[in-house]
Amino acid sequence: MAKKVVVTGCHGQLGRAIKQILAEHYQLINTDVAELDITDVSAVLALVRETKPYGIINCAAYTAVDKCEEDMENAYRINAIGTRNLAMAAREAKAKLVHISTDYVFDGRGNMPYTEFDPTGPIGVYGASKLAGENFVKEFADQYFIVRTAWLYGEGANFVRTMLRLSKEKKVVQVVADQIGTPTSAVELARAIAWLLPTDEYGLYHGTCAGECSWADLAEATYRLMGLKMEVERISTAEYKTAAKRPAYSVLRNYMLELIGGYRFAYWHDALKEHLKNT
C-alpha cells in the first residue's frame, strides 16, 4: 500500500506538478481551498488526524505579490497562519512536512547567489509573510523541509504564459531587464521534492534551476524557443511601476543540496525548453 501524502493548494502550478511527478509513488490526498482551507486550524488538524499521512506537501499560498501589499491580512493569514496550522498538524501526526518558500525573503541588494546561511531581509509584504511562514515551520514542526524556490512557472498563471499571450496581441513587449533571478519549472521543483521526501535530510533548502537571467532574457528565450518573432524592449524597474518592490538580484545557490549530494536541478534554459515542448 502506497504511503499517504496530503497535498494542499493542488490546483496551483506546483500542486499540479506534484500530482504529475509523485502520483505513481504515493497515495496523494489532493486538496485545494474548497476541500481544505489551510487557514482553518480545526479543519487542518481534523484532516491530518483522520488520514494520518506519511507526508504533507504545502503548495497553497497567497502568491499575488502586488496584491499582498494592499491585502496584508490575507497574505499573513494564508502564508503565515496557514503554514503554522500545517506545521502543528504535521508534528502531532509525526508526518514529514514539505513547505515552499521564496527568493523574495531576501532584499536583493547583493550580487552573489544567496545560500541558505545568508541573512534574510524581505522588502515587501509577500516576502515578509512567507518568511513568517518559514519561522512557524521551524517553531512548530519537527521533520520538515522548507524549500525556497523562485520565478516559478508551470501549468497556471505565470510570466512565461503571459509572454506567450502577449505575442498574440502585439509585436513588441517591454520587459524589465535589471531584475536578476532564476526561472524554475514547477516540474523540476516537484522532482527535487520527490527526492527529498523519503530522506531524513531535514532543514532549509534553496531549490531553483541552475544559472541566472533577467525577466527580459526569459522573455527572449521563450520567444526564441517557440520560434516567435517578437521584439523585447528592455526597460528598467523604475520604468515599470508595480505596487510591490522586488529584489534586484535574488539568485539562490542550492547550497544545502550541494552539501548533502542531493537533487541537481536542470539549467533554467533546458527546463524552459522541456516545459515549452509540453505546452
Residues 5, 7, 9, 124: which binds ligand NAP (CB under 6 A)? 9
Q: Is 76 in the site for ligand NAP (CB under 6 A)?
A: no
**Selected catalytic residue, list 26, 126, 153, 249:** 126
Q: Is 162 in the site for ligand NAP (CB under 6 A)?
A: no
Residues 3, 11, 67, 234: which binds ligand NAP (CB under 6 A)? 11
Going by C-alpha positions, the residue among 248, 203, 221 that lies closest to residue 112 is: 248
Q: Is 179 in the site for ligand NAP (CB under 6 A)?
A: no
Q: Establish whether 126 is a catalytic residue.
A: yes
What DSSP assignment string belongs to 2-13? Answer: PPEEEEESTTSH
Q: Is 18 in the site for ligand NAP (CB under 6 A)?
A: no
**Torsion sign (Cα): 84, 86, 92, 97:** negative
Q: DSSP assignment, residue 136?
A: H
Q: Is 187 in the site for ligand NAP (CB under 6 A)?
A: no
Residue recorded with cell 518559514: 134
Q: Where are the extended beta strands (E) located within the chain? A: 4-8, 27-30, 55-58, 96-102, 144-149, 152-153, 172-176, 180-181, 184-185, 203-206, 213-214, 231-235
- Using CB under 6 A as the binding rule, the residues of this chain from 77 to 116 that contact ligand NAP are 78, 82, 100, 102
Residue nearest to ligand NAP (CB): 12
Using the rule CB under 6 A, give the single segment among 109-117, 151-159, 190-198, 211-219 that binds ligand NAP: 151-159
Residue closer to ligand NAP (CB basis): 231 or 279:
279
Residue closer to ligand NAP (CB basis): 136 or 231:
136
Residues 27, 37, 162, 201: which binds ligand NAP (CB under 6 A)? 37
Q: Is 67 in the site for ligand NAP (CB under 6 A)?
A: no
**Torsion sign (Cα): 18, 20, 25, 27:** positive
Residues 5, 6, 7, 8: which binds ligand NAP (CB under 6 A)? 8
Question: Cβ 61 to ligand NAP, closest distance in Å?
Answer: 3
Q: In what order do the strands lie in the sheet with 27-30?
A: 27-30, 4-8, 55-58, 96-102, 144-149, 203-206
Given a contact cutoff of 8 angstroms between Cβ atoms, the answer to whether 106 and 120 are in contact is: yes
Residues 6+ apart with CB under 8 A from 150: 102, 103, 181, 182, 183, 184, 208, 250, 251, 252
Binding site for ligand NAP (CB under 6 A): 8-9, 11-14, 32-33, 37-39, 59-63, 78, 82, 100, 102, 130, 149-152, 156
